[in-house]
Chains A and B, each alone.
Chain A
């Protein structure tokens, strides 16, 4: 089945089985390796990306639902000298340990800040429920607050 959608601002068509998870397409067809496979059950959040601005767990998102939509991966969030506030904050606070789950956390955080620009600790607890086996939660919390500051200053 041919599916057409925008990914990181560019139009893209793929011809795959309609039930193929979006994560498979992103990583194996489009070769964007930033989004990670964790559990395959929408439980850990490592595969989080944005579909039309909403945080989505792409391992459990059949590609057919992406038709005509805007998909954003960690590569599209920002890069080089044009980093997203979340990416800047993650670097400032030296959040990652092994790093594997971090793109999912950053995408979830970016989605959160669009809806709640200055999240409280409770907002963070309620919204950012991904899993990090290195337990970098403490540094992530600091980075989320820092990202809110940077985003507030930039806007």
Chain B
């Protein structure tokens, strides 16, 4: 009987310890998320690391698609001009606006980001550094980068992503468009400082 109670007490202690650790873990995670969410750089990067952006900033020659960022169906490839290959252009299916009947997304200049601007697999710091490097960002100044990030229709499509082929709405970035634009401008105005991590 004593052994039974000892065992019961041990199990209870282990369970309590495990739950406490889990609670602490979640608390830390939430605290970090909240902290990270508040500064302009973090707000901006929460958007730029979202699948709506990264799916078309692949590290290879195949776009990604969907909420699980799988390779684009039908062996779709980047092509020489980032608009697809000879007879399978992005424009073969993607128009200047979403098509909610077929579920094909669309926006002006629908295409992949150049390979130099591949974001897939990069940290938020690496992405930010690449955005500011005129040697790989298409020669853009900070002002031009901000304009691209806050005004380009293809970028802003992320908040109007339409529905998929099954009619389900695509996920939007975790920060509103207005908050994101404000964050990008605030970050740039404060010197476009990129944190160490």
A interface list, Cβ under 8 A from B: 19, 21, 40-43, 48, 54-57, 59-62, 65, 108-109, 111-112, 115-116, 123, 125-129
Given contacts A19-B101, A40-B102, A41-B165, contact A57 B86 (CB under 8 A): no
In the bound complex, do residue B96 and residue A65 qualify as a contact, i.e. CB atoms below 8 Å apart? yes
B interface list, Cβ under 8 A from A: 73-77, 85-89, 91-93, 95-97, 99, 101-104, 165
Kindly provide the distance from the CB of A55 to the nearest chain B CB, expressed in whole angstroms.
5
CB contact between A123 and one of B75, B86, B104 (< 8 Å): that residue: B86
User: In the complex, what residues of B have CB within 8 A of residue A55's CB?
Assistant: 87-89, 92
Closest chain A residue, CB of each to CB of B76? A129
In the bound complex, do residue B93 and residue A60 qualify as a contact, i.e. CB atoms below 8 Å apart? yes
In the bound complex, do residue A43 and residue B165 qualify as a contact, i.e. CB atoms below 8 Å apart? yes
In the bound complex, do residue A129 and residue B96 qualify as a contact, i.e. CB atoms below 8 Å apart? no
Pull 11 A–B residue pairs with CB atoms less than 8 Å apart, ordered by A. A21-B102, A42-B92, A55-B88, A60-B93, A60-B95, A60-B101, A65-B95, A109-B87, A111-B86, A126-B75, A128-B87
In the bound complex, do residue B102 and residue A60 qualify as a contact, i.e. CB atoms below 8 Å apart? yes
User: In the complex, what residues of A have CB within 8 A of residue B103's CB?
Assistant: 41
Q: At the interface, is chain A mostly helix, strand, loop or mixed?
A: mixed
Given contacts A54-B91, A57-B92, A65-B96, contact A126 B102 (CB under 8 A): no
User: In the complex, what residues of B have CB within 8 A of residue A41's CB?
Assistant: 102-104, 165
Kindly provide the distance from the CB of A116 to the nearest chain B CB, expressed in whole angstroms.
5
A28–B163 Cα distance when bound, in Å, is 26
Kindly provide the distance from the CB of B79 to the nearest chain A CB, expressed in whole angstroms.
9
- Going nearest first, the 9 A-B pairs with the smallest beta carbon separation are A115-B86, A112-B87, A60-B102, A42-B93, A127-B87, A129-B74, A111-B87, A41-B165, A60-B104
Kindly provide the distance from the CB of A66 to the nearest chain B CB, expressed in whole angstroms.
11
In the bound complex, do residue B73 and residue A43 qualify as a contact, i.e. CB atoms below 8 Å apart? yes
Kindly provide the distance from the CB of A69 to the nearest chain B CB, expressed in whole angstroms.
12
In the bound complex, do residue A62 and residue B165 qualify as a contact, i.e. CB atoms below 8 Å apart? no
Kindly provide the distance from the CB of B68 to the nearest chain A CB, expressed in whole angstroms.
17
A111–B86 Cα distance when bound, in Å, is 8
A21–B99 Cα distance when bound, in Å, is 10
In the bound complex, do residue B87 and residue A60 qualify as a contact, i.e. CB atoms below 8 Å apart? no
Kindly provide the distance from the CB of B23 to the nearest chain A CB, expressed in whole angstroms.
45
Q: 16 additional contacts, CB 8 Å, given A42-B104, A108-B87?
A: A21-B101, A40-B101, A41-B103, A54-B89, A54-B92, A56-B91, A60-B93, A62-B95, A62-B99, A111-B86, A111-B87, A112-B86, A115-B87, A128-B87, A129-B74, A129-B76
